[in-house]
Amino acid sequence: MIDSYVTLVRKNYDYRNLWLSQVVSLTGDWFTVIASASLVAELSGSGLAIGGLF
């Protein structure tokens, strides 16, 4: 099962580009979440405010 997935990513150019762009997008989303939590923690110092982000 995993071998077929790896083959799909390696052989299919369009799918590989879609997959890589999704990885980059999700990485950016997580950087935003971490930055938002850090900013709220620094400005408010409240765990409740940080929890409100999620």
For the chain, what is the domain count? 1
What confidence score (pLDDT) does residue 4 get?
Answer: 82
Q: Which two tokens stand for residue 51?
A: 């929890």
Q: Is the residue at 5 inside a domain?
A: no
Q: Check: pTM over 0.75? Answer yes or no.
A: no
**Is the model more confident about 6 or about 31?**
31
CA distance 47 to 52: 9
CA distance 21 to 29: 12
Residue 34 has pLDDT above 80, yes or no: yes
Q: Is the residue at 8 inside a domain?
A: no
Q: Is the residue at 9 inside a domain?
A: no
Q: Which two tokens stand for residue 2?
A: 């995993």
Domain of 36 in residue numbering reads as: 21-54
How buried is 21 (Cβ within 10 angstroms: 0-12 exposed, 13-18 middle, 19+ buried)? exposed
Q: Is the residue at 4 inside a domain?
A: no
Cβ contact 21:1 at 8 Å: no
